[in-house]
């Protein structure tokens, strides 16, 4: 009987541990259910100023400005609105114009977003470089060169 009670206690402790771990995880998740705000949400005033939040969007072409040292400014857009982000630090490998980005930081009173962390969010597309190039050309309305096209 002593052993049986010990085992039940053991099981109880384990289960409590699992429940606690899951609860922590869900709490961590709860704060991040909405993992990032879109620029439209920022423009609509949904983002509390001063609080640490995340903003996500695509890097607007031509908006990347590198200042002295590691300082950089760029705009994130969701196609409708855009947010100006300023960041000092190392950017992820995939950072470039048109790339999806999620920045964590605070919205300043001026409307600018001061980022403490910049992460790249890539989409679910995987393809070889030639296919990507062909898509890019097609998107810009050009002609995809035929395989045996001469110079």
Partner 1 sequence: MRTPFNHLAAPMHFYRWGARLVPWLGACTVVLLALGWWGGLVLAPPDYQQGDGFRIIYVHVPSAWMSLFVYVVMAGAGAVALIWRVKLAEVLMAASAPLGAWFTFLALATGSIWGKPMWGTYWVWDARLTSELILLFLYLGVIALLAANEDRRRASRAAAVLALVGVVNVPIIHFSVQWWSTLHQGPSVGSFGAPSIHSSMLVPLLVSALAFKCYYLTVLIMRARCEIVERERNSAWVREMLPR
Tokens standing for residue 151: 């110079």
Q: Contact between 70 and partner 1 (CB under 8 A)?
A: no
On whether the CB atoms of residues 48 and 10 are closer than 8 A, the answer is no
Give the residue with the Cβ less far from partner 1, 8 or 65: 8
Q: Site size for partner 1, by CB under 8 A? A: 43
Distances (CA, A) of 32 to 19, 37, 53, 121: 20, 11, 9, 15
On whether the CB atoms of residues 36 and 82 are closer than 8 A, the answer is no
Buried b (16+ CB within 10 A) or exposed e, 56-78: bbbbbeeeeeeeeeeebebbbbb
Q: Contact between 46 and partner 1 (CB under 8 A)?
A: no
Q: How far is the CB of 31 from partner 1 (least distance, A)?
A: 7
| Choices 4-12, 43-51, 58-66, 75-83 (CB under 8 A): range interacting with partner 1 | 4-12
Instruction: Figure out which of the listed residues 47, 58, 59, 102 binds partner 1, where binding follows CB under 8 A.
Output: 102
Which residues lie near partner 1 (CB under 8 A)?
A: 3-4, 7-8, 10-11, 14-15, 18, 21-22, 25-26, 28-29, 31-36, 56, 91-94, 102, 117-129, 131-133
């Amino acid at each position: 009987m002593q052993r049986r009670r010990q085992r039940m206690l053991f099981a109880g402790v384990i289960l409590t541990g699992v429940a606690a771990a899951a609860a922590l995880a869900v709490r961590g998740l709860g704060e991040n259910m909405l993992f990032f705000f879109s620029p439209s949400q920022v423009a609509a005033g949904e983002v509390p100023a001063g609080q640490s939040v995340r903003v996500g969007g695509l890097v607007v072409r031509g908006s990347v400005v590198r200042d002295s040292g590691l300082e950089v400014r760029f705009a994130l857009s969701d196609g409708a609105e855009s947010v100006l982000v300023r960041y000092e630090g190392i950017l992820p490998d995939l950072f470039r114009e048109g790339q999806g980005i999620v920045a964590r930081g605070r919205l300043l009173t001026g409307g600018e977003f001061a980022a403490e962390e910049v992460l790249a969010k890539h989409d679910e597309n995987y393809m070889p470089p030639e296919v990507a190039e062909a898509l890019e050309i097609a998107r810009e309305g050009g002609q995809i060169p035929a395989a045996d096209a001469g110079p």
